[in-house]
Chains A and B, each alone.
Chain A
């Protein structure tokens, strides 16, 4: 989106220098985010000099790819004013199905894995748009239902392989070009291109922003809002599936905790990238940077020997701080 800087300055004038800087950042989030990313990379390199290498970059990207795709799902839904708290269970379930079907061949395993996202995304979409269940409640409940179902199915119809086949392992964890570029980053780049195209260059993308800003107005303009919402949840579900399959391929073996730890970061990456939880504002370019920032941060905390628990505290704090900062920006404007 192109913004003219003039009105932003006018709006921020009375609030002083800090507010003006904040408004400028709100207008051009990608510039500030790129700066933050660069600083984080340098600081991490200072902590662990080996990090500033091809393998360091590769490891960061390997981590960032599944997170970035999950955060893509959140970005689309947050733009509509929704959210998907079941997206990590979709990822886990898809990976579980793909692992189970891996003996049947990679194509079938991946396809059936994606079917999980299609089905669950459709159910979320129908619940939110047709039955008007609050998206938080709908997807939180869906997450619980999925965990229960997959726990039961693990003992019954999904008994068998919990190992991904070699092709999925290669896509999820392997690299090419002299072991420099992970395949999963290629998948992520293709998806990123697709998402940016969808959001910026299609009517569907226009409507995603529009219903997040004012659903009633979009309805009165003659749009069937439920159709837009359902498709958004389906796209999010499929993105969850792809992310889960990549993540499963990276770890090799799949269990029901696979994507658990990614829920908060998936929201955090979108929020860091400038997408508003209230809808209508943001985009995927910022989310990509958000996912990269979180991955670098993760590496840094690992090098500093900070445990998983503290990392979750850090993610939670980041989301809170940004949500507070964003609320402050909109109050002023």
Chain B
């Protein structure tokens, strides 16, 4: 049986290639990693996800040879590193583990300086790098440089862990459940921060998690692994959600695949609808006229800068008693920015007045609205595209089969 995860031509250059990688432990009948071949494209976050004991961590730790493979080859950046000096190899690969493992007896600056010192950078360059990295992870160098790890919160330690892993400017990063030990609210924020950071630095990242939701959110590509690190499916999150390759994958994704898909697209990716709006200071009669022309029950009041101010319905106007528009009706809740995920938008609009989420740009200027029909349509669209892709893939396979059969007597 083959155990191969390759990528098609649309992906970038292959940064990491594992070839027939195998790890056996003495006294254990089955290999922990069973002849795995896996291609990891440059600049992508590839997630290894699977139930505990499936070999995902072992697989990741063989890339920087914390665990030595029994057989097979590891190729990083077109170089066979299977027998290279492991310390030299590791200095070129960022490494973040769940417990972070900051050195408690060293200051934050000393922690971050570890790899640059090993690489022999001069003191001035190291100093500048420490400040730059602390800024990158939104921690003020002046405040945090000379603190010790015990003086930081869990979230701050995690940030320093990422900064430390980036310190030698490695092309490749390995992350083993990096957000695993953090409370859910902080985790969400750190995940978003990390994605923003990755959009700038474009590292090739191998990321291990057991949490399929995290995999879908963080991954450009996901390898779902079964026992022995056997690839059940290696594909983009969209494809995995839409066309699970086996019952194992479907079970692992669990119920609510459609809901999970909401995390994949963002408000800016779907068209916005317009809603009747009126400027602050408009005569009540004009507002009523605007409402009558639309099929909506309320108008959105905007101020001079086009920032949403109030929801005003016809009933509110009748009861206004001459009060201005910004003192009647309801405040505009459920305001989202274009980079919010559809999941965020849906979450907001479910509880909102008039069941819509108001979309504003970074300055707070009104852009349009998103409603449930919209989100529904977007999901249907995604599913159609992904199904078509899955079918095209199947058709190709069948053609190959026919060709093979044609040549055999």
* B is bound to A: no
**B positions within 8 Å CB-CB of A:** none
**A positions within 8 Å CB-CB of B:** none
